[in-house]
Amino acid sequence: MAVLLPAAEAASRTPLLVVGFYLFLLISLGVFSSRLFRGTSADFFVAERSIGPFLLLMSVFGTTMTAFALVGSTGKAWELGNGVYGLMASASGIVHSAVFFLIGIKLWAIGKRHGFRTQVQYFRSRFQSNLLGYLLFPILVALVVPYLLIGLLGAGAVMRGVTVGMFPETFAGTTLPSGRVMFEGAIPPWITGLVVCAVVLFYIFAGGLRSAAWANAFQTIVFMITGVIAFVLISSKLGGMDAATQAVIDNSSDHMTRARIGKLQFVTYMFVPLSVGMFPHLFQHWLTAKKASTFKLTTVAHPLFIGIVWVPCILIGIWAAGAGIMPPGGNPNALLPKIVQTLLQDPYLTGLLTAGILAAIMSSLDSQFVCLGTMFTHDIVMHAAGEDRFSDKAQVMLGRGFIVFVVGVTYLLTFFPPPKIFDLAVWCFSGFAALFPLVFASIYWRRTTRAGAIASVLAMVVTWGTLFYEGLIKPTLAGEEMEGDFLVAGMMPVTLIFAASTAALVLVSLMTKPPSDEHVEQFMVES
């Protein structure tokens, strides 16, 4: 999430103190939650399957919502109008809960009965295929890593924007080819990345996924409250909610409509939130649930939480358009921090908003770090060496080692970000969404075969790769400016990828020998 603010007035260090206080609270929570850690591998990787309804709701919501929920949604509404809520948020409210109910509960039951801790373990066992496991592992990792990078780079960009002028004698800033100096005296992204990695590592190293769940709950509360506070104060500064909306009608009536969104795009965007069905980090959170009924609160409250976070941000975005507020450098993701800085001019609020954005980023990062560490431990090392070779304690140590490894590698990768990294998010979602037919069929269609599952994954890789090249790589290499989402005949690319993976799964399954009833029965959850 690139938030680039130009060098402006010398700022006080109060926002930094607020952020520092927030990080201190997070570390304190890490110390507290680590005391709950029971020292077992089951506790480290899946919190002993003991998480209750409230913690599951908060950890799942915090993990699902990235910084995009705050800054991205505001910027997108400024670009496209109020239809962004229907396009991205209310669709997610419906689809996410459906996935929690139809997929999450069943996978929880299967995971509990057979002792699975990762998606790859499940698919490998369900389809009796090591090949499928080795095929899925790099794909899942490759789709998660850009998220991690976006989170760390976004955190760095936010802090750099907010801290401009705070340390003029320490940090010289960036000199542009024109000779203009940007971000003078601002904390450089490598320091923010280091601090964020260190804080997240601190609390997940000690307590694994249990600590991540606690931290997510806290961070979710922080970013939800931040959004609401920003909304109330900003609407007040704009003369009240009625006046702010009237300004949109008068000055930018397009933002009151969905004129900037295609109808086919709107319909086919519904495929994108299916991605939650294949997020490996969400799979792991589902396994932490104490009982099946733990999912009830998450399923019901998720659409409400989405509304609480997104509706205020969408309104702020269109109000900014009505008030003629422009984001710095034309970058929509910089809009919300700009509004807070210029409209509210309160260092405490700037600090609070920054903490809220960091909370949204870190609440996704922690689960992804733990998840990748768990995958390396179970799907590669323990699977290759044999599970019996490692004691329970050794498994925890191995998990910790891999988490440190994943955090370290991700941090190093932030020094070499691929071009258009921030455009990768929707492509990652599309990749996960196109794997949804696989997880759905594995639970509900007995006739799904190993060959069908592998064909589905390969079809996803080929179609995703082709469209990714056409939609992002090719225009980037040609130096073309991309405006708006890449669409195929007005549809989101995920539609075609999803159709290809579904067709491959069904056709190849029907053409190949079905698995034995005895084996499949082990995965057919009774309702």
Partner 1 sequence: MAVITVLHFDFWNWETTSVVLGFLPTGLAWQAGISLAAAAGWALLMNVAWPSRVEEWAARPSALSDDAAEDPS
Name the residue nearer to partner 1 (CB basis): 86 or 417. 86
Distances (CA, A) of 436 to 360, 460, 500: 25, 10, 12
Q: Answer yes or no whether residue 60 interacts with partner 1 by CB under 8 A.
A: no
Q: What is the C-alpha to C-alpha distance for residues 266 and 86, in angstroms, rounded to an integer?
A: 8
**Of 4, 244, 358, 504, which one interacts with partner 1 (CB under 8 A)?**
244
Q: Where are the alpha helices (DSSP H) in 376-423?
A: 383-385, 392-413
Question: Which range binds partner 1 by CB under 8 A, 260-268, 342-350, 359-367, 392-400?
Answer: 260-268
Point out which span in 20-28, 168-176, 286-294, 475-483 binds partner 1 (CB under 8 A).
286-294
Considering only 91, 186, 274, 496, the residue that binds partner 1 (CB under 8 A) is: 91
Tokens 């520092």 locate to 20
- Please answer whether residues 461 and 139 qualify as being in contact, where contact means their C-beta atoms are separated by less than 8 angstroms: yes
> DSSP class of residue 524?
-
**Residue owning tokens 């249990």:** 210
Considering the rule CB under 8 A, would residue 124 count as an interface residue with partner 1? Answer: yes
Nearer to partner 1, 25 or 264 (CB): 264
Q: How far is CA 514 from CA 16, 455, 510, in A?
A: 60, 15, 8
> Does residue 519 bind partner 1 (CB under 8 A)?
yes
First to last CA, the chain: 41
Distance from the Cα of residue 212 to its chain's centroid: 14
> Residues 334, 3: contact at Cβ < 8 Å?
yes
Site for partner 1 in 359-398 (CB under 8 A): 383
**Which CB atom, from 166 or from 238, has the smaller least distance to partner 1?**
238
Complex with partner 1: residue 10 or 249, whichever CB lies closer = 249
Residue pair 221/305 in contact (Cβ under 8 Å)? The answer is no
- Phi first, then psi: what are they for 174, rounded to 5°? -110, 130
Under rule CB under 8 A, residue 480 binds partner 1: no
**Binding to partner 1, residues 316-355 (CB under 8 A):** 318
Does position 53 bind partner 1 by CB under 8 A? no
| Residue among 100 and 429 whose Cβ is closer to partner 1 | 100
d(CA 317, CA 264) in angstroms, rounded, equals 23
In 3-state terms, what secondary structure has residue 181?
strand
Return the residues of window 180-209 that contact partner 1 according to CB under 8 A: none
List residues binding partner 1 (CB under 8 A): 82-83, 85-86, 89-91, 93-94, 97-98, 101, 105-106, 108-110, 112-115, 121, 124-125, 128-131, 133, 241-242, 244-245, 248-249, 253, 256-259, 263, 266-267, 270, 291-293, 296, 299-304, 306-307, 311, 314-315, 318, 383, 450, 519, 522, 525-527
